[in-house]
Amino acid sequence: MDKVQELVLNPLKPYLGPITANLPGPINDFAVGLLGDPCHSALLLDLDVVSHPECVSLAISKALGVGIIAASAIVKVPQIIKLVQSKSAEGLSFTSYLLETASFVITLAYNVRNGFPFSTYGETSLIAIQDVVISVLILVYSGKTAQAGAFVAAVGSVVYALIVSDTLVSTQQMTSLQAFAGALGISSKLPQILTIWRTGGTGQLSAFAVFNYLFGSLSRIFTTLQEVDDKLILYGFVAGFALNAVLAAQVLYYWNSPTTAGHGKEVDTKPGLQGVGQKGNAAYATDEALKKGAHAVTSGARPSSSSGRRRG
Domain boundaries, the chain: 2-51, 74-253
Distance CA 128, CA 196 (A): 22
pLDDT given for residue 145 in this prediction: 93
What CA–CA distance (Å, rounded) separates 12 from 136?
53
Model confidence over 52-76: pLDDT tens digits? 788 888 888 778 778 777 877 888 8
pLDDT tens track for 88-122 = 888 888 998 999 899 889 988 888 888 876 766 77
Q: What is the pLDDT of residue 74?
A: 82
pLDDT classification of 274: cutoffs 50, 70, 90:
very low
pLDDT band at 268 (very low <50, low <70, confident <90, very high): very low
Query: What is the spatial distance between Cα 177 and Cα 138, in angstroms, rounded to a whole number?
Result: 26
Contact 78, 208 (CB under 8 A): yes
Residue pLDDT, tens place only, 281-294 = 444 444 444 445 44
pLDDT band at 308 (very low <50, low <70, confident <90, very high): very low
Q: Residue 269 and residue 274: Cα distance in Å, rounded?
A: 9
Residues whose CB falls within 8 Å of the CB of residue 57, separated by 6 or more in sequence, listed in order:
226
User: Average pLDDT of 243-267?
Assistant: 72
310: amino acid identity, one letter:
R
Determine the Cα–Cα distance for residues 283 and 122; give it in Å rounded to an integer. 56
**Cβ density class 170-187: b for 16+ within 10 Å, e for less:** eeeeeeebbeebbebbbb
57: exposed, middle or buried (Cβ count in 10 Å: 0-12, 13-18, 19+): middle
Longest dimension (CA), the chain: 104
CA angle 214, 216, 217 (to 5 degrees): 70
Residues 261/91, Cβ–Cβ less than 8 Å: yes
pLDDT at position 228 over 80:
no
Q: Evaluate if residue 132 carries a pLDDT over 90.
A: yes
- What is the model's pTM? 0.62
Can you give the pLDDT at residue 33?
Answer: 78
Instruction: Say if residue 140's pLDDT is above 90.
Output: yes
Residue 24, classed as helix, strand or coil, is: coil
pLDDT at 229: 67
